[in-house]
Amino acid sequence: MSEKAEFLKSVDVSRETLERLEGFQQLLIKWNGAINLVSPHTIRQIWSRHFLDSAQIFDLSEGGSGLWMDIGSGGGFPGLIVAILAAEKRPDLSVMLVESDRRKAAFLTTVAMKLGLKVTVKVDRIEALPPANCDILSARALAPLSDLLGYAARHLAKDGICLFPKGIRWRDELAEAAKNWSFSHEQFPSLTDKDAVILKMKEPVHV
């Protein structure tokens, strides 16, 4: 079974959403040689390593509307995948992508425009932005959990949630974060890495 078929087996999408995903794939391959959006050795695994890995984060979110803030968006994971899925499944959801690298931000803006996505791209460092009061905050491969919770405490709405995919050392990161932060959390096994989880976190408070 092809990677795309495996993705479609796990994620139910319309023909229009599939066409947007295929368009994103083409743009990612086109731009990657120039600005290294994703590691070259994963470019042949786009549908599993990047698309499915991001789609599973969307599936753990809550509600139908509000603001989803993705920080350190890079090549668009999970933020652009969230926006593509939301266009079909949660059309009232707004997506904000935060990326300080101007070339990567230009890529994100181009993809959003060409695919007709409801996306705002902020070209800045996350700590420099005014509080966003977002309902969902996500970050993939950006920073240690302790740092992510600091960003969440600044930008998350009172009842908002964080969705952070973490690798094999996720237990160590949780223990380290608990030294300085109070929070509630659940962990969900990753569909793409047996040693990884997605941490769903709420109410981060520095202690």
- Which residues are annotated binding-site positions for S-adenosyl-L-methionine? 72, 77, 126-127, 140
Show binding-site residues: 72, 77, 126-127, 140
CA distance 182 to 132: 21
**Residue 57 burial by Cβ neighbours in a 10 Å radius (0-12, 13-18, 19+):** buried
Phi, psi dihedral angles at 82 (to 5 degrees): -55, -45
Strand 92-98 versus strand 119-122 pairing type: parallel
156 within 8 A of 68, measured Cβ to Cβ: no
Short-list 117, 120, 111, CA closest to 26: 111
DSSP at 157: E
CA distance 95 to 117: 9
174 within 8 A of 145, measured Cβ to Cβ: yes
